[in-house]
Amino acid sequence: MPGIRMVDVAEDVFVLGLEWVNRKSVQVLLPGVSEVMEAQDSDATDGVGPDCCEDAVLAEFSVEQDDLLSMIGVEIAKMHITDIIHGDLTTSNMMLCRGEKDLVLIDFGLAYYSLLVEDKVVDL
């Protein structure tokens, strides 16, 4: 989770300043990205399929697909063990830093606290 940099509570206003996360969205690192991105990748590789590009992007981040999926599972487990439900858990809300095996979950705008296992399952 990004670090909290500032909290300001004024009359009827709550401002939360978070650390800027300069990373790549996991959405573009895993197979199954949007058709638009696949088309762009195909154009960039002169007709070589998008799977080739995805492998190249993963290699650029020094991570294997299975390792990335494990990292996602670990971060979700950390969150759910503390009974935090993300509420919008998608690959576009997961960021990976190039050269580091460090995954960050972002966009906790719909997050809430719950002890219910069902809420955690829905989060997945």
Between β-strands 13-18 and 4-10, what pairing exists: parallel, antiparallel or unpaired? antiparallel
Q: Kindly state the average pLDDT of the residues 6-22.
A: 80
Looking at domain 24-123, its CATH class is mainly alpha
| 74 class by beta-carbon count within 10 Å (0-12 exposed, 13-18 middle, 19+ buried) | exposed
58-88 pLDDT per residue, tens? 777 888 889 999 999 999 999 999 999 999 9
Active-site annotation holder among 41, 88, 107, 119:
88
Please say if the pLDDT value at position 119 is more than 90: yes
**55-64, 71-80, 96-105, 109-118: which has the minimum mean pLDDT?**
55-64
88 counts as catalytic: yes
Could you tell me if 23 and 29 are in contact, meaning their C-beta atoms sit under 8 angstroms apart? no
